[in-house]
Amino acid sequence: MKKVALITGSKGGIGSAISKQLVDDGYRVIATYFTGNYQCALDWFNEQQFNEDQVRLLELDVTDTSECAEKLSILLEEEGTVDVIVNNAGITRDGLFKKMSADAWFDVINTNLNCVFNVTQPLFAAMCEKGNGRVINISSVNGLKGQFGQANYSAAKAGMIGFSKALAMEGARAGVTVNVVAPGYTATPMVEQMKPEVLDAITGQIPMKRLAKPQEIAQAVSYLVSDAGAYITGETLSVNGGLYMH
């Protein structure tokens, strides 16, 4: 039986790299997509050249607590297990805090932080009962150091780190590890569409003078969910080229 890994935000640049990496590692990946976006998810599935044994598409609104509880309970019955959760779904609604709307605040908190509860809570008890499991939360360098114009995003990403440390304590005796990967600026299609002068300004701040490759984030996840990472829990692995050393 293949181990099963649930990945939210699986279609993005980092999510795609994580999905491909875990498939290569031998996992069956459950890739969630937002309600009503089946065709878009199917196009992604075909572009990545996955097959149905490797990847199952799951329609899921990660901001809807009751929907997550219901659908993930059914998923657990159908798949028999969920061994790995990768909470990667996220959005930005950037703006100065003094002008930030309540919608911009709550949309980001709901999608980036509350979804971590919604997706993890229905599956965590089964992991503990089984005596094995991995939860990986994808935060950000900006959750560690803050970022101008991202009070909402930085708050959500910092919240993921505090959540992970607390849950790691609960899962430790049951053999369930909970860790964070905090990427810096990563060469996703969205980032690469920035103006060259903006990208130059960003890379100029990074000691290694380049962006992360999505595969480098995925390989960090791969290590933490592997047997080699079994004794690591409650940690934040920064993959940021030295952008924020603390």
Non-local (6+) Cβ contacts of 131 within 8 A are 174, 175
Helix (H, G, I), strand (E, B) or coil at 179: strand
**From CA 30, how far away is CA 19, in angstroms rounded?**
9
Between CA 201 and CA 11 the distance in angstroms is 27
Angle of helix 151-171 relative to helix 102-109, nearest 10 degrees, comes to: 30
Alpha helices in 86-227, H assignment, sequence order: 102-109, 115-130, 141-145, 151-171, 189-192, 196-205, 214-225
Q: Is 153 a catalytic residue?
A: yes
Integer Cα distance of 22 and 27 in angstroms = 5
Give the number of other CB atoms < 10 A from CB of residue 185. 21
Residue from 27, 153, 223, 231 carrying the catalytic annotation: 153
Instruction: Note the maximum CA span of the chain.
Output: 53
Pairing of strands 176-183, 133-138: parallel
CB 149, CB 96: distance < 8 Å? yes
- Residues 246, 226, 62, CA angle at the centre, nearest 5°? 75
Active-site residue list: 153
